[in-house]
Structure 1
Amino acid sequence: MAFAQPYTRKHRKQAAYPAWFLLPAAIIYTIFFLAPTFASLYFSLTRWTLFDATFIGLDNFAQFFREPFLVQGLVNTVVYAVITSGLKVVIGMLLAVLLTSQIVARGYLRSVVFFPVLVSTVGVGITFTVLMHPTTGMINQALAVFGVKGPGWLVDPKLALFSVALVDVWKGVGLATVIFIAGLVAIPRDYYEAARIDGGTKLQNFFYVTLPLSRPATVTVITLSFISGLRTFDLIWAMTKGGPGFASDTIASVIYKQYQAGFYGLSTAGNVVLFILIAVLVVPLTMFLNRKQGHE
């Protein structure tokens, strides 16, 4: 007990130093995140311009949910996020399993799969806009060779959102694959050896060894892909600008259009709605996935 007091004081004295190292990060976080967040909350309750602001309460939010195209953008955002995140998880996992197996040119194929991640999103959007042209696009021309009439990928209101979502998956699945590869190579080989001794097939190994033990990577991919889908703007704008009509509008593209039209208060309210949407959907999802992971 005689030695406990000096050690405690010394420990407390040393523990004070790391707190000072957090100060620069806290200042940057406050300036670039907390301050703009609270400013957005305030301006969403106003009708504002660059020079003045008039407090109007919740009128911007009421107008936001009264406009049919704004509500459609909200629905499109959730649909887009679910489609893109779901496909990235499934395709990314299958590609990771393939690229961790003993195949020829495995390293080269990994580079090919990851390459679209490095390409500019706007460049990808412009390229696929040309490829998906209903008459002169290479995709429909290739289908015509086999006697199939290609659809209007970006001009059909029923297909536009899904077409952009597929391009998003093509561009982003490489990152999901890399995360899954990291998760798969971290699984001890002893589990597969034990399964082989017990007579397990490759399909059984996948469902009873690979999937459960790669859950941390799966949680990461789901969370990142879902957030990315909810925040999407650049690919939508590069390919369809929310069209035809409002068929492929997401909240982010609607917000941008409102800014262009000069409805700054309404667009700021849209930003707040998007922030709340991400928080309401992603936080419970992450807690649920992490809880399931903890039980296992």
Structure 2
Amino acid sequence: MAAMSETGSARKAASPPVLKRRSPYPGWFFLPAAIIYSVLFLLPTIASLYFSLTRWTLFDSTFIGLDNFAQFLREPFLIKGLVNTVFYAVVTCGLKVVLGLFLALLLTSRVAARGYLRSVVFFPVLVSTVGVGITFTVLMHPTHGMINEGLALLGIKGPGWLTDPNLALFSVALVDVWKGVGLATVIYIAGIVAIPKDYYEAARIDGSTTWQSFVYVTLPLCRPATVTVITLSFIGGLRTFDLIWAMTRGGPGFASDTVASVIYKQYQSGFYGLSTAGNVVLFLLIAVLVVPLTMLLNRKEGHE
């Protein structure tokens, strides 16, 4: 036995060491990406943090500490902007998830002209956001807009889509969904197409109905696509500005103001330090809401 153990030890000692597989690319290959990332993200972020603590113009700056943040948080319409931002993000995100999944199911079925319909659904994503905003501003005009004129033909009095304080933000959110649901649909189509057909065949053999196959096969296996759509849509909703500004400019009054539009109004008024502090507040708002949401979604995905 002793001889056998000595022989085994000798073989282990004689075996060559296991070498870790090295990357075929040298480390300095990452240098261009690091430079671009630093110039376009790190340096502007650090500069924004500094200038948010100053009262600055294009030619000089004065350090004032946290006064900009204190003044920004005292603005009477900031709370309204915060509430509107979260409401807008939740509504647009939820509708894109539901409608994107529904359209993806439709466009992966045996519907006629499926390829053409996919193009039609995705086309609004390619259109300029400002152009979409201007177009729907005309369509939603309370008296001469095509939408209300069409409702009038049916005997229905159309509302003031963009002039009613209770409807303005929701109307813009609907336009945002119309423009962005195509991207959510494409992501869901990719997720559905990637599901092996064996799962559906097994469910059919077990006697599952179409609804049961959807609930127990499609939905769970489309979870990565759902996580992607929720994350992208929620971030986009929190940082929205261009569509809001093109359609309502935050009005009527402050009814459709978001944090981004409040920041822009401060910048227009010449309060550069105050608007920079607002950018930091918006960054923190996105981080506080999106990071825990992403961690929660990814954790649940990992447990399944």
Counterpart amino acid of 1:230? L
* C-alpha distance in structure 2 between counterparts of 1:77 and 1:18, whole Å: 45
Question: Is the contact between residue 64 and residue 71 of structure 1 (CA under 8 Å) also seen in structure 2?
Answer: no
Counterpart amino acid of 2:150? A
* C-alpha distance in structure 2 between counterparts of 1:18 and 1:3, whole Å: 29
Cα distance, 1:74 vs. partner? Answer: 1.5
Q: Where does 1:1-296 land on structure 2 (aligned, <5 Å)? A: 4=16, 8=19, 15=23, 17-296=25-304
Q: Residues 221-247 of structure 1: CA distance to partner in whole angstroms, max 9, x if unpaired?
A: 000001111111111111011111111
Give the secondary-structure state (helix, strand or coil) at the position aligned to 1:68.
coil
* C-alpha distance in structure 2 between counterparts of 1:234 and 1:103, whole Å: 35
Q: Residues 155-193 of structure 1: CA distance to partner in whole angstroms, max 9, x if unpaired?
A: 111110000000000000000000000000000111111
Question: Is the contact between residue 236 and residue 242 of structure 1 (CA under 8 Å) also seen in structure 2?
Answer: yes
Q: Give the TM-score normalised by structure 1.
A: 0.95
Cα distance, 1:255 vs. partner? Answer: 1.0
* C-alpha distance in structure 2 between counterparts of 1:106 and 1:256, whole Å: 42
* C-alpha distance in structure 1 between counterparts of 2:60 and 2:14, whole Å: 66
* C-alpha distance in structure 2 between counterparts of 1:32 and 1:2, whole Å: 53
* C-alpha distance in structure 2 between counterparts of 1:15 and 1:293, whole Å: 30
Please list every run of 5 or more consecutive structure 2 residues that lacks an aligned counterpart in the other structure.
Answer: 1-12
Question: Is the contact between residue 92 and residue 174 of structure 1 (CA under 8 Å) also seen in structure 2?
Answer: yes
Please list every run of 5 or more consecutive structure 1 residues that lacks an aligned counterpart in the other structure.
Answer: none
* C-alpha distance in structure 2 between counterparts of 1:269 and 1:105, whole Å: 51
Cα distance, 1:17 vs. partner? Answer: 4.5
Cα distance, 1:18 vs. partner? Answer: 3.1
Q: Residues 4-33 of structure 1: CA distance to partner in whole angstroms, max 9, x if unpaired?
A: 46x74xx68x55943211111111111111
Q: Give the TM-score normalised by structure 2.
A: 0.93
Over aligned residues, Cα RMSD in angstroms?
1.4
Give the secondary-structure state (helix, strand or coil) at the position aligned to 1:54.
strand
Cα distance, 1:272 vs. partner? Answer: 0.2
Cα distance, 1:58 vs. partner? Answer: 1.0
* Stretch of structure 1 that moved more, 123-132 or 196-205: 196-205
* C-alpha distance in structure 2 between counterparts of 1:283 and 1:22, whole Å: 26
* C-alpha distance in structure 2 between counterparts of 1:18 and 1:263, whole Å: 47
Counterpart amino acid of 1:281? L
Counterparts in 2 of 1:108 and 1:17: CA distance versus 1, 3 Å: closer
Give the secondary-structure state (helix, strand or coil) at the position aligned to 2:163.
coil
Give the secondary-structure state (helix, strand or coil) at the position aligned to 1:150.
coil
* C-alpha distance in structure 1 between counterparts of 2:103 and 2:143, whole Å: 32
Question: Is the contact between residue 46 and residue 55 of structure 1 (CA under 8 Å) also seen in structure 2?
Answer: yes
Counterpart amino acid of 2:233? S
Counterpart amino acid of 2:75? E
Question: Is the contact between residue 45 and residue 56 of structure 1 (CA under 8 Å) also seen in structure 2?
Answer: yes
Give the secondary-structure state (helix, strand or coil) at the position aligned to 2:77.
helix
Counterpart amino acid of 2:106? L
Cα distance, 1:254 vs. partner? Answer: 1.1
Give the secondary-structure state (helix, strand or coil) at the position aligned to 2:26.
helix
Percent identical among aligned pairs is 81
Total equivalences in the alignment: 292
Counterpart amino acid of 1:247? A
* Stretch of structure 1 that moved more, 15-24 or 129-138: 15-24
Give the secondary-structure state (helix, strand or coil) at the position aligned to 1:158.
coil
Give the secondary-structure state (helix, strand or coil) at the position aligned to 2:294.
helix
Flag the structure with larger Rg: 2
